[in-house]
Chains A and B, each alone.
Chain A
């Protein structure tokens, strides 16, 4: 922490709400362009010295994520049900947000992902729509993100990927046994495996050291600063300008507007739960796909009775989920998958939708091992394994180093009745309504996952697995969702979307929203690269607009 410190009585140029994957990028872009920026972050300001390899703390307790004891989440499958408390969604809650604890998969969208409606037509029961931007509009910003943050990968290795203006700044990470087995099997089946693009340094980069393969990426903060979170990459640059203040432990409850309908700043609870009003000339909400719509719904006024920027009524609608199934295989020799980053190889052969399958959707499949020791013994064994006793012990001891997983990442269709709303009954520790998640798979989402599961098992068998098994995939088993998308969708028509092609709200001329909530479609999961590309693009627009005097 070495940035600026603005008196709260100042009207700063930009207020950024949320210091995560998007907010960190926006703060750095705005501050380096010469603007004053205050960033309000719900969670604490931690560093690599605060992190550890403590599985209990980071996977069995909230660790780096939202704690339902203080911020309850309620869930129901449909409007007909009464929602009950359940950690249906999970997000990173500290400076750096989800970019601190994510697995670091960093996929660009394909060109087709921006035009699915035009390419494939309507899907019954879903509101599939084209994005108002194309891959070509976003490409320069994907490249900027990859170079600013530090992404490892191999350009050209994925025959299905969209054109790139530059290779990755860093070569791929070392392959693991899961990657080798997967690559062999996939090639045998005529598929096209490629090294996983990840936000982890394979070599020293911009003053940070390379990854040392400790294996504690997913759910953990990186003790080596080798995971390219915004916390260790762009936020320090923002602070170094002397124009950016990161204000942690600040929980925003309302965005204020003036008589003309412009945003004037935000009211937040500081760490002592004291209410503070921070004025700004323009506001960016980068709070994530559930906190952003929640804040808009909380920011009601006589001018905006249905919530801020919600004249369309779609704020909170079209929540899309972290879809995909898990299949595991047991192998003869030790894989020692606990060493090294989680994912080193994947395929995009089944990414494109194909009407011949009889449903809409597709996905990628990666080879990984998602488990740490206790989690594996509790959740990693085949469903028919004993749960206690000497056979159980022998199984988890034998299987731990001989198991790998194939994980699919599949379409989540935009469905209007899948929503984030304010729970009418349950309140959080600050007295604000809990957010209520209403979500059920579209039938095609479920069909995609089942179809992909057959492919996953086929690949595991081709790899020589002695035994294969899969996890159940009812939506309740696929919780919490960590990819939070679609709830303030982007579009050209103010009647059916919340933000325009620049991530600026249709209704409020100085209010930007940029995070997963912008997503019109979910592509095939792995939203972080696109969230960050959108953030660079929105910041670029905001800087030009501010210099023209449009944001006042």
Chain B
């Protein structure tokens, strides 16, 4: 097969493109990171399998805010400040989002779920869960594993249930 050297080269490239996860935060302070992570863990919870927390979404968000999304830092700062204010209104005795119970966190999010900041956070959480692990999230390809995405370079047909079902039929053959 003439293709193999090219496949190997492409796979090597894919491996070197995926760096190791960062050991610390570059932009977020540890407390803020904990707060954002608590929200992300409600956007993609750990029910039935790894969620945003296990996939290291917060590391993706930190990396994004340090690099390609540096312009969004102010949006995060003001968005989180508003969220904290809302938390104090709803749960005056609480000290942080992370220390709220799951149900309290959900109640808090319901108050802000149509805000543009929350929508932005949803986008980042999903990107951190299902994006390329080289950005610091999707650790151990946890997100991809959850949805059943293999990320291989080569697949052979049949690909799915329905094409496997008709694999014996001459679909797609040259007409005589």
A interface residue numbers (CB < 8 A to B)? 48-49, 52-57, 60-61, 154, 156-157, 171-177, 179-181, 183, 195, 204, 209-210, 212-215, 223-225, 331, 333-340, 344, 373-374, 376-378, 387-390, 392-394, 396-397, 400-401
Contact = CB atoms under 8 A, between A and B. Distances in A.
18 contacts: A52-B13, A55-B132, A57-B132, A176-B159, A180-B163, A180-B171, A181-B162, A210-B3, A212-B155, A213-B159, A214-B152, A214-B153, A223-B13, A335-B159, A374-B127, A376-B147, A392-B44, A400-B149
Nearest to A400: B147
B162 A335 contact: yes
B153 A223 contact: yes
A378 B174 CA distance: 39
B3 A214 contact: no
A154 B6 contact: no
B130 A377 contact: yes
B161 to A, nearest CB: 4
Contacts of B163: 174-177, 179-180
Given A212-B3, A387-B113, A393-B45, A335 B161 contact: yes
Contact of B153 (A171, A212, A338, A377): A212
A393 B51 CA distance: 8
Interface string B118-150: 010011001101111011000000011011110
Given A212-B154, A373-B130, A377-B130, A224 B161 contact: no
B165 interface: yes
A47 to B, nearest CB: 11
Nearest to A401: B148
B175 A213 contact: no
B148 A400 contact: yes
Contacts of A210: 3
A548 B42 CA distance: 73
B43 to A, nearest CB: 4
B155 A401 contact: no
B27 to A, nearest CB: 17
B155 A52 contact: no
Given A377-B126, A377-B130, A214 B171 contact: no
A505 to B, nearest CB: 41
Interface string B95-123: 00000000000100100010000010011
Contacts of A49: 9, 13
A54 B17 contact: yes
A173 B173 CA distance: 10
B108 to A, nearest CB: 12
A403 B159 CA distance: 14
Nearest to B11: A223
A156 B9 CA distance: 38
A549 B6 CA distance: 45
A interface, over-half SS: loop
A394 B130 CA distance: 14
B160 interface: yes
Contacts of A331: 162
A401 B160 contact: yes
A223 B161 contact: no
A373 B143 contact: yes
Contacts of B147: 373, 376-377, 396-397, 400-401
Given A224-B7, A377-B130, 19 more contacts: A55-B130, A55-B132, A56-B135, A173-B172, A175-B157, A175-B172, A180-B162, A180-B165, A180-B171, A223-B153, A334-B160, A337-B159, A340-B157, A373-B131, A378-B126, A388-B109, A389-B42, A393-B51, A400-B147
Closest 4 CB pairs of A and B: A177-B160, A333-B161, A209-B3, A177-B162
Contacts of B135: 56
Contact of A334 (B7, B148, B155): B148
Nearest to A179: B163
B154 A171 contact: no
A201 to B, nearest CB: 10
A390 B45 contact: yes
B131 A339 contact: no
A345 to B, nearest CB: 9
Contacts of A340: 155, 157, 159
B139 to A, nearest CB: 15
Given A333-B161, A373-B144, A388-B109, A339 B155 contact: yes
Contacts of B129: 374, 377
Contacts of B174: 154, 171
B14 interface: yes
Given A224-B6, A337-B160, A374 B126 contact: yes
B160 to A, nearest CB: 3
Contacts of A338: 149
B29 to A, nearest CB: 25
B159 A339 contact: yes
Contacts of B44: 388, 392-393
B31 interface: no
B166 A180 contact: yes
Contacts of A209: 2-3, 6
A270 B82 CA distance: 47
B70 interface: no
Contact of B43 (A204, A337, A388, A397): A388
A215 B149 CA distance: 11
Contacts of A223: 10, 13, 153
B74 interface: no
B47 A52 contact: no
A186 to B, nearest CB: 13
A334 B161 contact: yes
A389 B45 contact: yes
Contacts of A180: 162-163, 165-166, 171
Contact of A388 (B113, B155, B165): B113
B77 to A, nearest CB: 21
Contacts of B126: 374, 377-378
